[in-house]
């Protein structure tokens, strides 16, 4: 008799209780595989430091060019010294080389070598971080957007921002 009551109660429970919707979220572990992880309502989310929550937007990646622009702009006002490559004073190519070094990128030291390396870029395709050559390659600056470059121009003039059009454009390179 007890067996009949248990069986009846189980059957009634299955018939009376609605089924919960099956919810699962895929979890991919690189090198291991993808797994369906059930979502349990009412369970607090698992927060792991340094790991974005599922569905959370990823932090934007800062490119080496953007880091170089930030580094170069941080030196606006630093003195020009011929042959100097930072961190306190610069000549034109020294500023460019130093800024990219802060971003983990190795560039040639002289303006002429900077104008010959990298990937050629047209004036119409300039993006922040491009190295712009002027005066036949004897001077370099870094394009920072909005038609401007940051550069170390000459003795007595500190690192400054100037319009690209303020000097005779010779070419540009992307690193």
Is the separation of the CB atoms in 174 and 130 below 8 Å? yes
Whether 58 sits among the annotated catalytic residues: the reply is no
List 100, 139, 142, 149, catalytic entry: 139
List 92, 103, 152, 172, catalytic entry: 92
Whether 139 sits among the annotated catalytic residues: the reply is yes
Whether 151 sits among the annotated catalytic residues: the reply is yes
Q: Whole-model pTM?
A: 0.68
Is the separation of the CB atoms in 141 and 92 below 8 Å? yes
Report residue 165 as tokens: 């059009």
Per-residue pLDDT of the chain (175 residues; tens, 9 = 90+): 545 444 444 454 444 545 555 566 777 888 778 877 776 666 666 677 767 666 667 677 899 999 999 999 999 999 999 999 999 999 999 999 999 999 999 999 999 999 999 999 999 999 999 999 999 999 999 999 999 999 999 999 999 999 999 999 999 999 9
Domains annotated on the chain, with CATH: 64-174 (3.90.1720.10)
């Amino acid at each position: 008799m007890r067996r009949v009551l248990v069986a009846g109660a189980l059957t009634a429970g299955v018939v009376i209780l609605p089924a919960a919707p099956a919810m699962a979220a895929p979890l991919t572990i690189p090198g291991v595989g993808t797994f369906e992880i059930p979502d349990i309502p009412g369970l607090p989310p698992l927060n792991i430091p340094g790991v974005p929550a599922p569905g959370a937007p990823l932090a934007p990646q800062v490119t080496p060019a953007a880091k170089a622009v930030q580094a170069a702009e941080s030196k606006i006002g630093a003195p020009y010294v011929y042959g100097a490559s930072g961190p306190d004073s610069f000549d034109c190519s020294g500023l460019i080389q130093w800024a990219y070094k802060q971003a983990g990128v190795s560039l040639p030291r002289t303006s002429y070598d900077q104008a010959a390396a990298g990937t050629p870029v047209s004036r119409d395709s300039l993006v922040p971080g491009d190295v712009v050559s002027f005066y036949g390659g004897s001077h370099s600056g870094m394009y920072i957007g909005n038609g401007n470059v940051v550069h170390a121009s000459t003795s007595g003039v500190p690192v400054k921002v100037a319009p690209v059009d303020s000097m005779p454009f010779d070419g540009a390179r992307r690193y």
